[in-house]
Amino acid sequence: MQKSMDEYRYELKYVCSETQLAILQARMKGVLAVDPHARDGSYCIRSLYFDDYNNSCFFENQDGTDAREKYRIRVYVHNSGGIRLERKRSLRGKTQKTACPITREQCFAFMNGEPADAYGETPPLMKTLVSKFQTRLMRPKVIVEYDRTPYIYKNGNVRITLDKNIRSSNMLDGFFDQQLCARPVMPRGQHVLEVKYDGFLPSFLRQLLQLDSMHRTAYSKYYFSRNFSL
């Protein structure tokens, strides 16, 4: 079944130091709930990103093109949550994510550049990616992995995530390995804070996070991971 967020959500990103992240986490612990999907408060995310023969996704990120989109296959390491194909669209500082489950066999087909023709009950998202494989030579390019601590707040559908130890790998065959051979993407001690919400961000959360005093960035894990090979 394909899931889609019809409405675009605000997405704010900030690069934080180890100390800043620790302070923010201490503040949020007494106010926000940890996402119930996070065992022991955090989980490891691994994503396989795709791009076409022109590396359009990479250069659109570099140029700040509006609108743009990226395709990825995502798994949660050490978690039996399944495998998901996702498309993330960005438009004027907002994002929209569409996702559908795929099988391990379908994932390997995409990894090998040989996805089966998608007909019948196949989710539209998978059909779209298959079409891009055929018309734009879309192929897997890089694996991105990081450790995420997620917090949620019901009003405004707020989701605040602390992403640490962001790393990447060009060893695409290791996507399902228990331990990924990866390199750090960011300088030591730097991590990413992401704040996502629908129509509004409650003022007490803005004050708690001190967002006005932090430098907002358009940081893309995919873009900086590809920088190593382009």
Q: pLDDT, tens digit, for every residue of 2-42?
A: 555 568 999 999 999 999 889 999 999 889 999 988 878 89
pLDDT on residue 48: 98
Q: What is the mean pLDDT of residues 124-144?
A: 95
Q: Count Cβ atoms within 10 A of the Cβ of residue 155 and give its class: 0-12 exposed, 13-18 middle, 19 or more buried.
A: exposed
How many CB atoms are closer than 10 A to CB 36? 8
> Is the CB of residue 202 less than 8 Å from the CB of residue 155?
yes
Residue among 182, 196, 137 at smallest CA distance from 46: 182
Q: What is the mean pLDDT of residues 95-106?
A: 94
User: In degrees rounded to 5, what are phi and psi of residue 225?
Assistant: -70, -35
> Is the CB of residue 8 less than 8 Å from the CB of residue 123?
no
pLDDT on residue 156: 86
Residue with the bigger pLDDT between 78 and 58: it is 58
Number of C-alpha atoms within 13 angstroms, CB side, residue 73?
25
With cut-offs at 50, 70 and 90, classify the pLDDT of residue 120: low
pLDDT on residue 213: 67
The per-residue pLDDT of the chain, averaged, comes to 89
pLDDT on residue 118: 58
How many CB atoms are closer than 10 A to CB 173? 11
- Write the pLDDT tens digit of every residue in 164-179: 999 999 999 999 998 9
pLDDT on residue 63: 86
> Is the CB of residue 87 less than 8 Å from the CB of residue 69?
yes
pTM given for the model: 0.92
User: In degrees rounded to 5, what are phi and psi of residue 187?
Assistant: -60, 155
- Write the pLDDT tens digit of every residue in 182-213: 999 999 999 999 999 998 899 999 888 886 66
> What is the residue type of 198?
D
Residue with the bigger pLDDT between 155 and 139: it is 139
pLDDT on residue 119: 56
Q: How far, rounded to the nearest angstrom, does the alpha carbon of residue 109 sit from its chain's CA centroid?
A: 21
> Is the CB of residue 196 less than 8 Å from the CB of residue 96?
no
> Is the CB of residue 179 less than 8 Å from the CB of residue 153?
no
- b/e per residue, 108-146, with b = 16+ CB within 10 A? ebbbeeebeebeeebbebbebbbebbeeeebbbbbbbbb
With cut-offs at 50, 70 and 90, classify the pLDDT of residue 227: confident
SS3 call for 151: strand
H/E stretch holding 146 reads strand 139-153
Cα(19)–Cα(185) distance, rounded to whole angstroms? 19
Domains of the chain, first to last: 3-226 (3.20.100.30)
Q: What is the mean pLDDT of residues 120-132?
A: 89
Cα(202)–Cα(156) distance, rounded to whole angstroms? 7
